[in-house]
Amino acid sequence: MAATVKQRLGLTLGTFVVSMAGMAIFHEGGAGFIVAGTLTYGAFKFADEVFGTLHSDDEPNRQNERTGQQKSAMRALLGMRQRETIVDADITNRESSAALPPVRQKQRRLSLSDILASGWRPSSEKFLMAILPNGQPAFVDLTKGDITHIALAGATRQGKTSIIRQILTQLFYIKGHICVLLDPHYTPYDPENDEDWTPFTPHLHINPLETKEYEDIERVLRWGAEDLLNQRRRLRSQSKRVGKDVWFLIDEYPAIIGKRPKVQDYVADLLREGGKYKIHLVIASQDFQVKTAFPNLGSGVRDNLTTCFYVGGDKVTVREILETSISSDEEASLGKGPIYLRCETVKKASQAFTPFCDNDAVYELVGPSTYTVDEDEEQDTEPLDFMRSSASSASASAQKEADSGGNSSASASSASLPSGWTQKEAILAREIYKQCGDKDTVLKALAKKGTIGERRRELNMILQEEN
């Protein structure tokens, strides 16, 4: 440690005074004067070493201070700061630990909005997967084909759906991707988890409400495995570009194959060959044991799921897909944020943390539900127009009813509708209300403008008209 000018002068002057006093006391004469001068010169010359030794005991504290500064910089990068809840105060000192720092109880979970606060925005080169135990983000590069197919494995209500939202939000922000969401339990707004899905609807290739029926999900996947895959094979054989990346995001996969077993064959074809033609599957399932996910096909198909998010609940999945094993304590810590991740940039499965994909982040990156697709994007999606015709019979019936003027007893005439409402919106409002029984959910799903009071009165008129 270098001594300051003030410290150097103080040490030199003090040494000189003490030396001269000693010389006078012991009457050393000229020899004493020489000794005093030598000591004074030594104090001046070696002041740095003296003060370095005196302050060596403070070095651990200074090291901790530097560690804290590094930690603050890391947190600022990720938008975590003092209000974060993902990691505890010792994260930097535990970088070598295999265990994810504990999530503080009774505090808000880290959200995607927190990470956006750092200034980061999704890109093809920096597609966010999760946050690693050392606080660094795990990115993949879509331009290099880092993602082929993704498995979202683990128990229900432990965060798989939030990861789907995180993936969709980034894909739509980046643009240039065609996405199809297949979920038999889809709802435009989930009041229990406060998840608003309506901003995604204008960007999805088909409204998820039109593919909720199991037979419609099977029809879409059959089209993907047969028509789309064959079409892209022909384009590749002609040395032509196959087109944009197409993503099929399948939630509640065991329920789907339980009702439509043939879906396994279509999924297997897409898993085996889709990656060659920019077709990707994101499959959410409680587990990926052969008997659950591929009972008719065997384990070979499962090997194509090279990227995996595991939220806990099935150790067989850990062994077969993550190619590792975890302790009971680690297993108990997973879910709703803490996960195990394996991907192109995290080749050896590691604990990580996925942020909650909150509505504010979706609104910022994707936009409101009133977003209008421009003409260029419509043209880009023309090769998939077949999928637009695969709407469920119930939705098709509702559309036909609206187009015909609503002659059935369940529909209202144009004259009886509140101002600003169309017959199609009225029919859709009734259908959503039948499913959830909550008026606020209906209004959020339709994104009707106006004050809450006005919107509720208008909805009441429509529901009373039906009765």
Q: Which residue has the higher pLDDT, 58 or 295?
A: 295
- Residue 102 predicted with pLDDT over 90: no
**Mean pLDDT (the chain, rounded):** 77
Q: Is the pTM of this model over 0.75?
A: no
pLDDT value at position 149? 96
Higher pLDDT among residues 338 and 380, named by residue:
338
- Say which residue the tokens 């009225």 belong to: 426
Position 277 pLDDT exceeds 80: yes
Segment 437-448, tens digit of pLDDT: 777 777 777 776
Q: Is residue 87 part of a domain?
A: no
Which amino acid makes up residue 308?
Answer: C
pLDDT at 72 over 90: no
* Owning domain of residue 127: 92-387
The 10s digit of each residue's pLDDT in 151-176 is 999 998 899 999 999 999 999 999 99
Range with the lowest mean pLDDT among 73-82, 262-271, 354-363, 413-422?
73-82
Is-contact 317 153, C-beta < 8 A?
A: yes
Please tell me whether residue 292 adopts helix, strand or coil conformation: helix
Percent of the residues in the chain that have a pLDDT greater than 70, as a whole number: 69
In a shared domain, residues 221 and 278 = yes
pLDDT for 130: 96
Q: How many domains does the chain have?
A: 3
Indicate if 306 and 220 belong to the same structural domain: yes
Q: Which two tokens stand for residue 221?
A: 């996947």
pLDDT tens-digit map of 107-148:
568 899 999 999 999 999 999 999 999 889 999 999 999 999
The pLDDT assigned to 243 comes to: 94
- Categorize the per-residue pLDDT at 184 as very low, low, confident or very high, splitting at 50, 70 and 90: very high
Does one domain contain both 293 and 152? yes
Domain final position from 358, 387, 416 = 387
Together in a domain, 374 and 400? no
Residue type, 260: R
Alpha helices in 176-334 (DSSP H): 214-223, 229-237, 253-259, 263-273, 290-293, 315-317, 328-333
Q: What is the rounded CA–CA span in Å between residue 398 and residue 174?
A: 34
Amino acid type, 126: K
The span from the CA of 363 to the CA of 442, in Å, is: 19
Pairing between β-strand 150-153 and β-strand 137-140 as defined by DSSP bridges: unpaired
Indicate whether 271 and 348 sit together in one domain. yes
Residue 316 makes CB contacts below 8 A (sequence gap 6+) with 287, 289
Q: Which residue did the predictor score with more confidence, 166 or 423?
A: 166
Q: How confident is the model at residue 293 (pLDDT cuts 50, 70, 90)?
A: confident
